[in-house]
């Protein structure tokens, strides 16, 4: 389909390893968001891109988290030196309009379920 695609679907890593999670938004969508969802919690905002510009990264929990979207399409969320508390589902969402415009729905990908051993 033409929805938001995330890969891998599942990722298991040992504590201390680096991981990279990929998001392929809906074609032409300007806005891209990353969220972290822990078990039993709602999604928590991590960062936001408008095209290739990272306009808000205030939700990233530490400097081990890094996100990029170099060509304004595919985005990668990288987590360095993973810790057990990083275990969560990482959701990517995209939207066709610029953030700041009201009532914008977001289209979510299936998420990457990350487990740190």
Partner 1 sequence: RKEVEQDPGPFNVPEGATVAFNCTYSNSASQSFFWYRQDCRKEPKLLMSVYSSGNEDGRFTAQLNRASQYISLLIRDSKLSDSATYLCVVTWDHYGNNRLAFGKGNQVVVIP
Residue 7 pairs in a beta bridge with 22
Least distance between partner 1 and beta carbon 83 (Å): 23
**CA dihedral over 107, 94, 2, 112, signed as positive or negative:** negative
- Decide if residue 40 touches partner 1 (CB under 8 A): yes
- Decide if residue 53 touches partner 1 (CB under 8 A): no
Sole binder of partner 1 in the list 18, 52, 85, 101 (CB under 8 A): 101
Answer whether 54's CB lies under 8 Å from 35's CB: no
Sole binder of partner 1 in the list 12, 52, 81, 104 (CB under 8 A): 104
Least distance between partner 1 and beta carbon 110 (Å): 5
Residue of 43, 42, 45, 64 whose CA lies nearest to 55: 45
Distance CA 88, CA 93 (A): 16
- Decide if residue 70 touches partner 1 (CB under 8 A): no
Q: Which stretch binds partner 1 (CB under 8 A): 17-25, 63-71, 80-88, 100-108?
A: 100-108
Return the percent helix, strand and coil in the chain, to nearest 5: 5, 50, 50
Least distance between partner 1 and beta carbon 116 (Å): 19
CB atoms closer than 10 angstroms to residue 112: 22
Which residues would be at the binding site for partner 1 (CB under 8 A)? 33, 35, 40-45, 48, 50, 55-56, 58, 91, 99-111
């Amino acid at each position: 389909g033409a929805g938001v695609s995330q890969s891998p679907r599942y990722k298991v890593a040992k504590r201390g390893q680096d991981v990279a999670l990929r998001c392929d938004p809906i074609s032409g969508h300007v806005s891209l968001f990353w969220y972290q969802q822990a078990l039993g919690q709602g999604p928590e905002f991590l960062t936001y891109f408008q095209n290739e510009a990272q306009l808000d990264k205030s939700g990233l929990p530490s400097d081990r988290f890094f996100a990029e979207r170099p060509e304004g399409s595919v985005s990668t969320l990288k987590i360095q030196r993973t810790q057990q508390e990083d275990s969560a589902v990482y959701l990517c969402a995209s939207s066709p309009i610029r953030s700041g415009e009201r009532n914008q729905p977001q289209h979510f990908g299936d998420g990457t379920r990350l487990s740190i051993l």
